[in-house]
Amino acid sequence: MTLNIVFRNTGLFLLLIFLQLFLFENISLTRFDIIPNFYILFILILFIEIPGWALLLSAFFLGLIIDISYDTGGVNAASSVLVAFLRPTVLKLLTPRDGYSSGTSPSISEYGFVWFLKYGFILIFIHNLAYYLFVKLSFEDFFITISKTLLSTILVLILIILSQYLFKKNN
């Protein structure tokens, strides 16, 4: 991993924390009080070849910073680590016919809209389901939890796809 990649990822890490804490925290939608967990974008678009330990550690610290800021007791860290743990499996499940190109990150510009839609939906759904189940700590009101999960997943996925188009690499 080059120093340029480390600086770029550190900048993205800090930017997403800033956006989550100062923009998305203030967006509360519907009567369910859904907060878009946009910070998950960091986990989604890290390079495909990132070592597992680095992915898990990055996800943990990302979630921990959000938890400390929101005073949520580890819910974001646990959800983020779960997504980071399952990410390699999802990438294997969705491997394109020609495989992944070396040195790429999962993005619309690299693998197409449909591929990214599937990839993003699966991981964002897992994150949001874990998040809402950890917050509730029960299966009571399970259908409300599933509704929150689906609405939040769709909202975050739309925001992430928009960000992919807004900040698309010019090749």
Band of the pLDDT at 30, cuts 50, 70, 90? low
Question: What's the mean pLDDT in 85-108?
Answer: 92
Exposed e or buried b per residue across 43-72, where buried means at least 16 C-beta atoms within 10 angstroms of its C-beta: bbbbbbebeeeebbebbbebbbbbbeeeeb
What is residue 40's DSSP assignment? G
Point out which residues pair with 34 in neighbouring strands. Answer: 29
Band of the pLDDT at 137, cuts 50, 70, 90? confident
With beta carbons less than 8 A apart as the criterion, state whether 66 and 72 touch: yes
Question: What's the mean pLDDT in 107-127?
Answer: 95
If DSSP codes are grouped into helix, strand and coil, which group holds residue 29?
strand
pTM of the full structure: 0.90
Question: What's the mean pLDDT in 45-51?
Answer: 91
Cα(48)–Cα(55) distance, integer angstroms: 10
Exposed e or buried b per residue across 83-106, where buried means at least 16 C-beta atoms within 10 angstroms of its C-beta: bbebbeebeeeeeeeeebeeeebb
